[in-house]
Amino acid sequence: MSTDKVITAEQLTKRFGDFTAVDAISFDVYKGEIFGFLGANGAGKTTAMRMLSGLSMPTSGKASVAGFDVYKENEKIKQNIGYMSQKFSLYEDLTVKENIRFYAGIYGKSDQFIKEKTALVLEQLHLTAEGNKLVKSLPLGWKQKLAFSVAIFHEPQIVFLDEPTGGVDPVTRREFWNMIYLAAEAGITVFVTTHYMDEAEYCNRVSIMVDGRIDALDTPEQLKRTYGVTSMDDVFLKLARKAVRSAD
């Protein structure tokens, strides 16, 4: 794994009125890494991710994504990231191909590029036969994989995945993680939030957020050793028990 930092955050903070959603977090993410961002509901994961992806303006602190400052250069950041939300966010009334064309189009990709890559992606997904079917006719697991392919279609440096495996069965989750590995191998940095602890084991490094702060950040093996437990589940429980903020 390389030591090029693609995301850096220093004392990054977001306050909504009196409420500090994200409390001075600092971390680095390296190129090609799968970086797990864990935390209970309401711990501040999504808010942190939104600040990094340019959807939300930080209250204070510093951060850069793909070498660009989140305050001033968020337009440049946008060119270099992909984003997949927990809703999968595809147009149900459009076909698989139309969805791909639309999302690639908003990133300004050429028709030629879109055409060639669509064929490739559909083949990888084993969806070639379904290319002209409406997205709403696909099973949830396929939609999820399609949404991920769409998020990295424009070949971003970093892809942000916000709880990408919600509501999907274990087999499909496994397949989905294979796709994530492939993407990481291709050099795309993966920043993923999740609350499935077995998924945390798949990450290169994991940070655990409690009450808006990052309480632990290390490889899954090192974390288990530090806390003297055998699974990430137990690591998480040890940390999360300290939380005073209740999930909303």
Partner 1 sequence: MFILLGMPVVQIIIFGFALTNEVKNSKIAILDPSKDAATTSLIAQMEASRYFEVDQVIHSAEEIEPIFKKGKIKLAVIFPANFNEDLQHFNKAQVQLIADASDPNVANTLTNYATAVIMDYQNRITSDRKLPYTINTEMRMLYNPELKGAYNFVPGVMAMVLLLVCTMMTAITIVREKEMGTMEIMLVSPMKPFRIVIAKAVPYLLLSSVNIASILLLSVFVLDVPINGSLVLLVFESLLFTLVSLALGLLISSKAESQQTAMFISLVALFLPTVMLSGFMFPVENMPLPLRTVSNIVPAKWYYSIVKSVMIKGIGLHAVWKETLILMGMLVFFLGLAIKNFKIRLA
Residues forming the site for partner 1 (CB under 8 A): 14, 16, 47, 50, 53-57, 74-75, 78-79, 81, 83, 85-92, 103, 106-108, 160
Round to whole Å and give the CA distance between 81 and 160: 7
CB of 220 to partner 1, least distance (A): 28
If you write DSSP's letter for every residue of 139-170 in order, what string do you get? -HHHHHHHHHHHHTTT--SEEEEESTTTT--H
For partner 1, give the closer residue by CB, 154 or 205.
Answer: 154
Q: Map tokens 């949404």 to a residue.
A: 147
Instruction: In angstroms, give the least distance from the CB of 187 to partner 1.
Output: 20
Tell me which H or E stretch contains 174.
helix 170-185
**Between 54 and 220, CB nearer to partner 1:** 54
Q: Hey, how many other C-beta atoms are within 10 angstroms of the C-beta on 107?
A: 14
Q: To the nearest whole angstrom, how small is the minimum distance from the Cβ of residue 164 to partner 1?
A: 12
Q: How far is the CB of 40 from partner 1 (least distance, A)?
A: 20
Quick one: 52 or 239, whose CB is closer to partner 1?
A: 52
Q: Which is nearer to partner 1, 104 or 180 (CB)?
A: 104
- Pairing label, strands 60-65, 158-162: unpaired
Measured between alpha carbons, how far is residue 22 from residues 16, 27, 47, 210, 232 in Å? 10, 13, 7, 10, 23
Nearest approach in angstroms of CB 234 to partner 1 is 33
Question: Least distance (Å) from partner 1 to the CB of residue 55?
Answer: 5
Structure tokens at 55: 């959807």
Task: Identify which of residues 15 and 213 has a Cβ nearer to partner 1 in the complex.
Answer: 15
Q: How far apart are CA 32 and CA 58, in angstroms?
A: 25
Q: Count CB neighbours of 34 within 10 A.
A: 23
Q: Which is nearer to partner 1, 91 or 181 (CB)?
A: 91
